[in-house]
Amino acid sequence: MISVNGLIRTYGDFTAIDNVSFDIGQGEIVGLLGHNGAGKTTIMKMITGFLEPTGGSITVDGLDINRDREAIQRKIGYLPENCPVYPEMTVIDYLDYAATLHGVPETERPARVREAVAKTELTEKATQLINTLSRGYRQRVGVAQSLLHRPDILILDEPTNGLDPSQVQHMRDLIREAAQHATVIISTHILQEVQAVCDRVIIIRAGEKVLDARMDELRSAHRLLVTVDAEPARVDTALKQITAIRKVEQLSIDGHQRRYALEFQEQTEAQQCAPGIASALLEAGCSLYAMQPEQRTLESVFLEAAAHH
- Is the pLDDT at 306 greater than 70, yes or no? no
Continuous segment of H or E residues that includes residue 78: strand 76-79
What is the per-residue pLDDT for 307?
A: 62
- Is the pLDDT at 35 greater than 80, yes or no? yes
Overall average pLDDT of the 149-154 stretch:
95
Alpha-helix runs per DSSP H in the chain = 40-47, 69-75, 91-101, 109-119, 135-147, 165-178, 191-197, 215-219, 232-239, 267-283, 298-307
What is the per-residue pLDDT for 189?
A: 86
| Structural contact between residues 209 and 203, judged by C-beta atoms closer than 8 angstroms | yes
Q: pLDDT (tens digit, 9 = 90+) per residue, 167-205?
A: 889 889 989 988 888 999 999 988 888 888 999 999 999
| Structural contact between residues 171 and 135, judged by C-beta atoms closer than 8 angstroms | no
- Is the pLDDT at 308 greater than 60, yes or no? no
Would you call 231 helix, strand, or coil by DSSP?
Answer: coil
What is the per-residue pLDDT for 89?
A: 97
pLDDT, averaged across the chain: 91
What is the per-residue pLDDT for 221?
A: 65
Q: How far is CA 174 from CA 62, 71, 118, 121, 168, in A?
A: 28, 25, 11, 10, 10
Overall average pLDDT of the 125-149 stretch:
93
What is the per-residue pLDDT for 220?
A: 66
Overall average pLDDT of the 25-36 stretch:
92
Q: Range with the lowest mean pLDDT among 89-93, 149-153, 165-169?
A: 165-169
| Structural contact between residues 41 and 81, judged by C-beta atoms closer than 8 angstroms | yes
Spell out the CATH class of 2-206. alpha beta
pLDDT above 90 coverage of the chain, percent: 63
Would you call 60 helix, strand, or coil by DSSP?
Answer: strand
Name the CATH superfamily for 221-295.
Answer: Ribosomal protein S10 (3.30.70.600)
What single DSSP character describes residue 13? T
User: What is the band of 28 on the pLDDT scale with cuts at 50, 70, 90?
Assistant: very high
Compute the C-alpha angle 110/84/135, nearest 5°: 90
Overall average pLDDT of the 38-66 stretch:
95
Question: Nearest Cα to 221, choosing from 172, 265, 173, 190?
Answer: 265
What is the per-residue pLDDT for 267?
A: 67
Q: pLDDT (tens digit, 9 = 90+) per residue, 240-289?
A: 888 889 888 898 998 889 999 998 877 678 788 899 999 999 999 999 99
What is the per-residue pLDDT for 55?
A: 96
| Structural contact between residues 111 and 142, judged by C-beta atoms closer than 8 angstroms | no
Overall average pLDDT of the 212-217 stretch:
86
The reply to whether 2-206 and 221-295 are identical in fold is no
- Is the pLDDT at 72 greater than 80, yes or no? yes
Overall average pLDDT of the 13-33 stretch:
95
Would you call 120 helix, strand, or coil by DSSP?
Answer: coil
Overall average pLDDT of the 103-115 stretch:
96
Cα dihedral 145→146→151→152 (10° resolution): -170
What is the per-residue pLDDT for 235?
A: 92
For the chain, the domains span: 2-206, 221-295
- Is the pLDDT at 147 greater than 90, yes or no? yes
Alpha carbons 128 and 126: distance in angstroms, whole number: 6
